Amino acid sequence: MTLRPASARRPSVVGIHAPFLVLGAACGMSAPGGPLLSGSDAASTDGSGEETSAVDALCADPPPVSGDPDATEAQLAAAARLACHRQAAGLSILTLSPALQAAAQAHADYMDATGLYGHDEADASHPRFTGEDALARVLAADYPADLAAHRLDEAIAFDDGGMSASGAVDLWISTVYHRLPLLHPLATELGLGIRGSYAVAVVVGRWDTSQAGGGGSLTWGLYPAEGQSGVPVSLDSDRESPDPAPDHGVVGFPVTATFGAAQWGEDPSDPYALEVDLSRSGIQDAAGRPVQSLLLEPGADPHLLDAVALLPTEPLAEGARYRVTLGIVVAGEELDLGWSFVTGGGG
């Protein structure tokens, strides 16, 4: 769920956009296996980065996570896993917020107790009820920030085989819509909840880079990151809701670019007026052959605000290098980004 502004500039009202992820018997699937994600320690844009180790190797000595001295072991494990992914992409490490932790854990507890999977809590009489939606639950947990001036995202996941802390994070990162708030360059605080087969992540961040501590400059996050190795080759798009490729089933691993600019723009569905130049954008294999891909962008896709995605229509080859180019205008600034990654397997 993404709570986004209903008005164009610094928001005072929020609306709702709600992706969720289902795994397990509910959709006839089990949690996916295959190679774990990997990454570099910076998101270079010139494609010259050297190949780096997998996320598992980075997480052997994870970056420190702070903010909640009372965090559970599961919450700390999930936060450390996300910190590894963000470090791989050259992004800052999120601070654990005790209030966001409480809101996320309460919703995971509610879903586990009732068996009702979703962003909304329908049974207000249930003892585990803490709020109808993510905003209500965060407010009930006494989150101290002004939520009208911040973005609030919630991602949920279900696996009837049981949800592990690191597994939940890896599942979110493997998708299109669930990845975006967790790897947003303007995200600042995090709350996580895990109970039984259910996992919840609540993320708060700035709307634009002119807000406190942002500096006002254009920033972005790319994933897979520059030099990333062991990248999964595919995604079953049917296991994400909304489905990013409703006319396809198993597709290639998604490539995303998420942006933060100095000013939230006039169009609430495309606040940074993103314009992708198709002649300068795409995915190519090591031989320079183009990889047929779907372009997901704001305006055409109501579940995107400040991000674009390239989604190969077929699984990528194992053990292969791919190069991504993205010619894009963001809030009037023209960018030419280029980076490469290597898929797992094949060896």
**What are the CA-CA distances from residue 154 to residues 4, 184, 283, 335 (Å)?**
12, 13, 30, 30
* pLDDT score recorded for residue 81: 93
Is residue 37 a contact partner of residue 29, using CB atoms and an 8 Å limit?
no
CA–CA separation, 174 and 231 (whole Å): 10
Express as a percent the part of the chain with pLDDT over 70. Answer: 81
Chain-centre distance for alpha carbon 231: 16
Half-sphere exposure of 30 (CA within 13 A, CB side): 3
CA quadruple 21, 25, 30, 31: dihedral sign:
positive
Which residues lie across from 259 on neighbouring strands?
Answer: 220
159-216 pLDDT, tens digit per residue, is 888 888 888 999 999 999 999 999 999 999 999 999 999 999 999 998 888 875 556 6
* pLDDT score recorded for residue 207: 82
- Which of 14, 45, 3 minimizes the C-alpha distance to 218? 45
CA quadruple 41, 45, 51, 53: dihedral sign:
positive
User: What is the value of pTM for the model shown?
Assistant: 0.84
3-state secondary structure 285-315: ECCCCEECEEEECCCCCCCCCCEEEEEECCC
3-state percent helix, strand, coil for the chain, nearest multiple of 5: 20, 30, 50
* pLDDT score recorded for residue 215: 63
* pLDDT score recorded for residue 213: 59
pLDDT, tens digit only, all 347 positions of the chain: 333 332 223 222 222 333 445 433 222 222 322 222 222 222 223 333 444 456 677 677 888 899 999 999 999 999 999 999 999 888 999 999 999 999 999 999 999 999 999 999 999 999 999 999 999 999 999 998 777 778 899 999 998 888 888 889 999 999 999 999 999 999 999 999 999 999 999 999 988 888 755 566 899 999 999 988 889 999 999 989 889 999 999 999 999 999 998 888 888 888 899 999 999 999 999 999 999 999 999 988 988 989 999 999 999 999 999 999 999 999 999 999 999 999 988 65
* pLDDT score recorded for residue 58: 67
